[in-house]
C-alpha cells in the first residue's frame, strides 16, 4: 500500500509527481529544488543558501510524514557545477548527524528553473 505525502511547508509538485510517497515504512521524497514555499522563489545567495533550502524542504516533508532526519538512509545530490561540491557539502554536513546517510553527488547538464542544486531523499522508519 502506498500513501501520498504532501505539505504546504515545501514547494508544490510542478509536474506529474508527488512530493513524496510512503510505502511499507519507506519514504521516497522527490527531488527538492531550493524553492522557498512562501514566496515560490529561490533564496538569495549561492549554492550554500540553495542547499540549505533544499534540505529544509526535505525536513518539512519528513515531518509531514512523521519521519525524522535521523530516518534518512540515502540522498542523491544533483549539482549544476561540481565546483560547488565543497560549499554544498559544508551545509549538508550541518544538516545530518553521524551516522550519516548514504549519498551520491554528481554534476548534471542543467537543473529545473536554473537551480544550482536539487536533492532527493529516501527515509526508513526505524523500529
76-102: pLDDT as tens digits: 999 999 999 999 999 999 999 999 999
Give the mean pLDDT of 112-119: 97
Q: What pLDDT shows up at residue 110?
A: 96
* pTM, rounded to two decimals: 0.95
Question: What is the predicted pLDDT for the residue at 31?
Answer: 97
Q: What structural domains does the chain harbor?
A: 2-124 (3.30.1330.40)
CA dihedral 41, 92, 48, 64 (to 10 degrees): 20
DSSP 11-50: PPP-SSS-SEEEETTEEEEEEEP--BTTTTBPPSSSHHHH
pLDDT tens track for 4-62: 999 999 999 878 999 999 999 999 999 999 999 999 999 999 999 999 999 999 999 99
Amino acid 127: pLDDT: 64
CA distances 97 to 1, 37, 72, 94, 101, Å, are 31, 25, 11, 7, 9
How far apart CA 36 and CA 27 sit, in angstroms, is 22
Report pLDDT digits (tens) over 95-113: 999 999 999 999 999 999 9
CA distance 92 to 51: 7
Rg (C-alpha) for the chain, rounded Å, is 14
Cα(97)–Cα(122) distance, rounded to whole angstroms? 16
98 within 8 A of 58, measured Cβ to Cβ: no
Amino acid at each position: 500500500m502506498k500513501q501520498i505525502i504532501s505539505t504546504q511547508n515545501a514547494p508544490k509538485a510542478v509536474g506529474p509527481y508527488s512530493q513524496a510517497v510512503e510505502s511499507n515504512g519507506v519514504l521516497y521524497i522527490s527531488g527538492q529544488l531550493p524553492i522557498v514555499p512562501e514566496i515560490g522563489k529561490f533564496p538569495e545567495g549561492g549554492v550554500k543558501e540553495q542547499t540549505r533550502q533544499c534540505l529544509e524542504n526535505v525536513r518539512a516533508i519528513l515531518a509531514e510524514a512523521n519521519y525524522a532526519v535521523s530516518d534518512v538512509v540515502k540522498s542523491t545530490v544533483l549539482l549544476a557545477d561540481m565546483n560547488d561540491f565543497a560549499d554544498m557539502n559544508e551545509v549538508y554536513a550541518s544538516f545530518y548527524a553521524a551516522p550519516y546517510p548514504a549519498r551520491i553527488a554528481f554534476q548534471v547538464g542543467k537543473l529545473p528553473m536554473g537551480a544550482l542544486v536539487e536533492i532527493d531523499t529516501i527515509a526508513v522508519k526505524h523500529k
